[in-house]
Structure 1
């Protein structure tokens, strides 16, 4: 493919500066950074910065520390921002305490909004029309469909994730003049701390995996491949997209109320409870 300029490096991320939120606590954050720094042959380093990105004052402090690290590395700015931190509480609608709603919205919506807002100068600094900086927001298929109601419902989580989809669309147009693209990832069921209780409730990884059109749950490399694509030169013209990553499960989803309630399912004779 020699006729396509830069084809051999389409998916390379050499020299890029990425900021990723998540990890829940300082112990997990440090462990993740240590694991990355132990990978042989990698040029660069992972720097753990502790902050609660559901609080505006801590977001500003976090961004200031990011800027300090960027200057130490003699980089122009930040090439990739992945807003990945999230919280979720479930339970019956009538009994759902307001503090849970507030924390969910503060982290999943306001936190993302303010994080991107404060990061814009750092993102804009190295960006060009042909090599834009990237904002990736981790949402959920729960922001597209209604996955659960009743005793295991997570209405406010779904509402917050629906909001991040529209936030991403707005940011795509707001930030494009600064050479920054914005896209939203919507994973389905991946074994994780956040999803595992629901997976276990629905019968475990084997049962839930078989209900998927592809017959399995998501794997870490499924997300990694998509993220690399969107952050590399190959994805430089992708902007304002909601990318579902669920094996197609959302296309034939049924309604699961709770363990004893009514269910409606369709598709290939498989019961769907996503």
Structure 2
């Protein structure tokens, strides 16, 4: 056993997530799929969710080649969808060490015509469902938690919740800023229950939301030009951040926002 001033001899145990029970919402594509694959490849037991049953089957088959992954079709904007995911976690995992709140949506329209039903849809999924699912799985997170190895809540925010975007996606940026604050509030309230709460705020990564830009060569060059490191993020970049927060290396972090954007938000 090390003293408080010593480092573990080997770096590997610091980032070991093998055997951990992990739920990744919105885990069939984009950032969610990247994070889920990172955990599966490193020996975690993973449940992913998505609204699309076809996407769930496809991603379960793909990730199953690398390790332990099951998928649960569910719409987390509904109470029935939330209940289905919680039941699947209990059935397939029996416990929960890490919740990755990744499911989200966006809606873009000029301010004069921005639809309120679109605004409500984005806020319900990006903010309300994050709180509702966290509340629902909290007993599972607490059950195996300790001061040395707390339960982990990792919420995927966005740099659009930190700096304003040129896109007219009013509900998206507002909901991400709100979920950043919600995560800090959860961190404060849950610390005594051995559960941490942190945010990863990604910049540009390939996803359905950004495909319209990144699939166009000229537009992609424009996006990359706005990133000081000169590229969009990769699966290793985002999975590495999540694994850090979920591992022993991240056990003393709570209430933080880890910005993973190649420096783009710092230069706006």
Q: Which bracket does the TM-score occupy, shorter chain normalised?
A: 0.7 to 0.9
Alpha-carbon spacing, 1:142–1:223, altered in 2? closer, same or farther (3 Å): same
Match of residue 182 from structure 1: 197
**1:91-113 Cα distance to aligned partner (Å, 9 max, x none):** 10110111101110110000000
1:162-209 deviation per Cα after TM superposition (whole angstroms, max 9, x unaligned): 011001000111111111111001101112111222456894222311
Deviation at 1:14, TM superposition (A): 1.3
User: Which of 173, 182, 188 is the aligned partner of 1:158?
Assistant: 173
Of the three residues 41, 53, 67, the one matched with 1:26 is 53
In structure 1, what is the Cα distance between the partners aligned to 2:55 and 2:121? 21
Instruction: Give ranges in structure 1 of 5+ residues lacking alignment.
Output: 72-76, 254-274
Q: Which one of 4, 7, 23 corresponds to residue 4 of structure 1?
A: 7
Q: CA RMSD in A?
A: 1.8
Alignment size in residue pairs? 240
Is 1:53 the counterpart of 2:76 in the alignment?
yes
Runs of 5+ consecutive residues of structure 2 not aligned to the other structure? 29-49
Q: Secondary structure at the match of 2:128?
A: helix
Cα deviation for residue 60 of structure 1 reads 2.2
Provide the TM-score with structure 2 as the length reference. 0.85
Q: Tell me the residue number matched to 1:248.
A: 263
- The separation in 1 between residues aligned to 2:145 and 2:168, in whole angstroms, is 41
One of 109, 133, 145 as aligned partner of 2:127: 109
Matched, 1:17 2:1: no
Structure 2 distance, partners of 1:104, 1:198, is 21
Mapped contact 2:213–2:220 kept (Cα < 8 A): no
2:206 corresponds to 1:191: yes
Q: Counterpart of 2:237?
A: 222
Report the TM-score, using the length of structure 1 for normalisation.
Answer: 0.83
Q: Distance in 1 between matches of 2:253 and 2:103?
A: 23
Tell me by how many angstroms 1:34 deviates.
1.2
d(CA) in 2 for partners of 1:5, 1:100: 50
CA shift, 1:35, in A, is 1.2
Q: Take 2:79 and 2:191, find their aligned partners in 1: how far apart are those partners?
A: 24
Deviations 1:145-173 (A, max 9, x none): 1112xxx4101100000011001000111
Match for residue 212 of structure 1 among 206, 210, 227 = 227
